[in-house]
């Protein structure tokens, strides 16, 4: 028994509609270069993109953190370099004063120079970057060092002993500063106390050689503390290089997820066009057919 599909024309029209939709998708991909343009086109790929975007956002934030830290640490390191130079000058003055050949007036002149170096180092210890004091611990809005005539060293520390840490990677935090009390005024190695002792010895004809030796010891310890900043800068540079590589990898992954395979899209478009032409011709023929045409 012959079965006649009464909806043959409708079936062909549905096929044409599907082919047209496929053609439109191909045209969108060729126009945008993306393999999908709506969330519903490829939910799995969209999910990958969301994750990729989140990771990229994190990397961007870490890179920003690293860049900000590098700038502040470079200022701190440069500041401590200036302190090293100043302390070296003070030690040289102490050596001059200890040779026993200078008169009282010369000794007073040396004392004045060392006192000036102490004031210079006090100013350096209060260095700010981006509105924050670099050597105040976590009390970054408080001037850490102030002159204080009641103190043996002539200087008082008003910061705190805490340090800051900043995130530079997933679960990775890095300490980014030393407190001023750790750098300038640790017990037994107080920079200001050592300088003041040298000033007093020069003024009063005291043990200049002993005060100079003490200042040299303080200088050596200070240099050891200073290495923290150089080591931290080196670590940040390595982290920055890694993050930049990771960012490139994420960008490549995003491109692979989003980008359409143009050769495949064009090939599919050509095939769809051919199928559409055939479907249009078939639809035209079917629209004029009668039951007798089916029975022949």
Domain that holds residue 167: 60-253
Residue with tokens 């340090």: 163
The pLDDT value given to residue 24: 58
Residue 196 lies in a domain: yes
Q: Longest C-alpha distance within the chain, in Å?
A: 135
Say which DSSP state 259 is in: B
Is 293 inside any structural domain?
Answer: no
Q: What is the pLDDT of residues 159-204, one digit of tens each?
A: 999 998 999 999 999 998 999 999 999 999 999 999 999 999 999 9
Arithmetic mean of pLDDT, 44-56: 78
In a domain, 46, yes or no: no
Within a domain: 217: yes
- Between helix 43-97 and helix 191-204 the angle, nearest 10°, is 10
* Least confident piece of the model among 63-72, 216-225, 238-247, 258-267: 258-267
The per-residue pLDDT of the chain, averaged, comes to 83
Share of the chain above pLDDT 90, in %: 57
CB of 26 closer than 8 Å to CB of 269: yes
Within a domain: residue 233? Answer: yes
CATH number of the domain at 181, please.
Answer: 1.20.1330.10
- Within a domain: residue 13? no
- The answer to whether residue 65 sits within a structural domain is yes
Burial code (b: 16+ CB inside 10 Å, e: under 16) for 14-46 equals ebbeebeebbebbebbeeeeebbeeeeebeebb
Based on the structure, what is the number of domains in the chain?
Answer: 1
The pLDDT of 249-273, averaged and rounded, is: 65
CB-CB contact of 163 with 179 (8 Å) = yes
State both tokens at 101: 């050949």
Residue whose C-alpha is closest to residue 221's, from 253, 245, 186, 192: 186
Query: 164 in a domain, yes or no?
Result: yes
């Amino acid at each position: 028994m012959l079965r006649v599909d009464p909806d043959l024309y409708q079936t062909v029209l549905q096929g044409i509609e599907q082919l047209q939709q496929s053609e439109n998708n191909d045209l969108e991909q060729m126009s945008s270069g993306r393999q999908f343009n709506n969330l519903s086109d490829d939910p799995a790929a969209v999910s990958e993109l969301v994750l990729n975007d989140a990771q990229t956002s994190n990397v961007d934030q870490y890179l920003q953190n690293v860049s900000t830290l590098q700038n502040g640490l470079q200022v701190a390191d440069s500041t401590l370099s200036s302190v090293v130079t100043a302390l070296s000058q003070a030690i040289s003055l102490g050596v001059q004063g200890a040779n026993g050949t200078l008169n009282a007036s010369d000794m007073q002149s040396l004392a004045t120079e060392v006192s000036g170096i102490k004031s210079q180092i006090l100013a350096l210890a209060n260095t700010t970057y981006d509105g924050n004091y670099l050597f105040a611990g976590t009390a970054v809005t408080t001037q850490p060092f102030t002159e204080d005539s009641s103190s043996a060293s002539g200087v008082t520390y008003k910061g705190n002993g805490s340090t800051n840490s900043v995130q530079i990677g997933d679960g990775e935090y890095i300490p980014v500063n030393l407190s001023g009390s750790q750098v300038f005024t640790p017990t037994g190695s107080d920079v200001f106390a050592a300088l003041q002792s040298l000033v007093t010895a020069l003024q009063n004809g005291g043990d200049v050689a002993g005060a100079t030796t003490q200042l040299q010891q303080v200088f050596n310890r200070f240099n050891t503390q200073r290495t923290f900043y150089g080591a931290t800068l080196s670590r940040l540079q390595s982290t920055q290089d890694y993050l930049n590589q990771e960012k490139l990898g994420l960008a490549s992954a995003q491109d692979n997820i989003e980008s359409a395979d143009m050769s495949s899209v064009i090939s599919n478009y050509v095939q769809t066009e051919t199928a559409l032409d055939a479907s249009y011709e078939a639809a035209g023929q079917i629209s004029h057919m009668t039951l007798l045409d089916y029975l022949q």
